[in-house]
Structure 1
Amino acid sequence: MAGKRWYDDPCGVARALDMVGERWALLVVRELLLGPKRFTDLRAGLSTASQNVLTQRLRELEEAGIVRRRGLAPPASGTGYELTDRGRELEPVLLALARWGSRLPLTSEADLSADALMLALRTTFDAPAARGFHAVVELRLGVDRFRAEVSGDRLTLSRGEAPAPDAVIETDAATLRALVFGACPLGDAPVRVAGEVEVAERFLGLFPRPAPRQADAGSC
């Protein structure tokens, strides 16, 4: 990793940041949490990262044993990137960061990538509200497909189609974000629902917007 910056600090936090502290590194990991992607798909999810920077981050993450290349099975083609076992160990770290950051003031008007939105669903899922609800919902966001299963008080998300979903919600990531966080009612949104509409409505209501973090009181 010639030219890479180091903290030169033996603390575990510093050593972790030596591996994933460069700009875009953790967001690359975010985009791969639900499965492998081609370089072009990573660029689509990280649209403001330049091709050169993304290439460099992937090279560094490969060298650190966090990401590896792999051939993709049909219908995809060519070579993609996936997380190694070491890379997957970062999942709870990203979930904790997402929960912490979701309560900070919103400073960007950019759209969430489909995978970033899936992370947001995981971190805002209201488990008590889901008790007694069992359903499989397929989310179709453009070319992306996700399988969402709610079982009791647990949400499981994976990339790909659901074999026999109770409901299918077909829209784009920006509209789904507005639906789940209450900015737009289902009847007013450009969305197609197949299967049980009641299941889709119940599912969309399981993700309350995080309450903003209150500023610490100042001292006199």
Structure 2
Amino acid sequence: MAMKRSYNDGCGAAQALDLVGERWALLVVRELLLGPKRFTDLRSGLPGISPNVLSQRLDELEQSSIVRKRKLPPPVSAQVYDLTDWGRQLEIVLQDLGRWAAQSPTFDREACLGIDSLVMSFRTMFTPSAAVGVHASYELRVGDDVFHAEIDDGTFEIHRGSAAKPDAIIDTSPNVFAEIVYDPTGDLAAAVRDGTVVITGDPAAVERFTGYFTLPAPAAG
């Protein structure tokens, strides 16, 4: 593999960009923050990347000790890519970038949103003060992906997998979910009526869920 270009700069930010500044690198990291994935799963989450470029990014991230390759035990026995403990520390970097970008006056809120992007946005935009004293459990179903979200007195956790006894189950697409949570004009009741959102359980709990996440105010021009 050809040697990567370097800024040859002693600044920590420059050396960080040497590691994760190549196109797609941070998005590969984003796709692995919620758990290990096979190559084909990464391709599904990053439909704009070619197989060759994805292979190159994974090799570079593995050489930099950000990503590691491992084999799942039987009966799965599949090869997956996972973040190292050090690589997982990039989550706070991605969250800060997400908050910063959300303030942009040109932020494209109509762009296609993947399920991992949606879930990471919930981790990023959760507002603890809005959920003080709240204890609630949710199951989020987006296509074939299932997540368990737990709110416990101002804290928020979300992981892959089903919830044992959720207050509500929400079944929808990433973009519709983002609209009802982040768009001031988003109408949960209308989405339920037209079938783009299916709720099992307490609809009021879902309405409350949409109020626990807040986008930052747009930056001054």
Q: What's the TM-score, normalizing by structure 1?
A: 0.90
**TM-aligned CA deviation for residue 55 of structure 1:** 1.2
Give unmatched runs, 5+ long, in structure 1: 216-220
Q: Is the CA contact 2:99–2:215 (under 8 Å) kept in the aligned structure 1? A: no
The AA in structure 2 aligned to 1:86 is W
Greater shift, 60-69 or 176-185, is seen at: 176-185
Distance 1:76 1:170, change over 3 A: farther
Number of positions where the alignment pairs a residue of Structure 1 with one of Structure 2: 215
Deviation digits for residues 73-118 of structure 1 (CA, Å, limit 9, x no counterpart): 6896622111111111111111111111111121474211111111
Which residue does 1:59 correspond to in 2? 59
- 1:209 positional shift: 3.3
* Cα separation, 1, equivalents of 2:139 and 2:75: 18
**Identity value in percent:** 52
- What is the CA–CA distance in structure 2 between the aligned matches of 1:122 and 1:163, rounded to whole Å? 21
The AA in structure 2 aligned to 1:197 is P
Q: CA deviation at 1:186?
A: 1.4
Q: Deviations over 1:173-201 (max 9, x none)?
A: 11111111134311221111112222111
Could you tell me which residue of structure 2 aligns to residue 201 of structure 1? 207
Q: In structure 2, the residue corresponding to 1:209 is in which secondary structure?
A: coil
Matching residue's letter, 1:20: V
Partners of 2:171 and 2:75 in 1: CA distance:
20
1:78-117 residue pairs with structure 2 within 5 A? 78-104=78-104, 105-107=106-108, 109-117=110-118
Shift, 1:45, TM fit:
1.4
Question: Does the 8 A contact of 2:149 with 2:158 survive in 1?
Answer: yes
RMSD of aligned Cα (Å): 1.8
Distance 1:73 1:137, change over 3 A: farther
Aligned equivalent of 1:123:
124
Q: Where does 1:101-180 land on structure 2 (aligned, <5 Å)?
A: 101-104=101-104, 105-107=106-108, 109-180=110-181
Unaligned stretches of 5+ residues in structure 2: none
Q: Distance in 1 between matches of 2:202 and 2:7?
A: 53
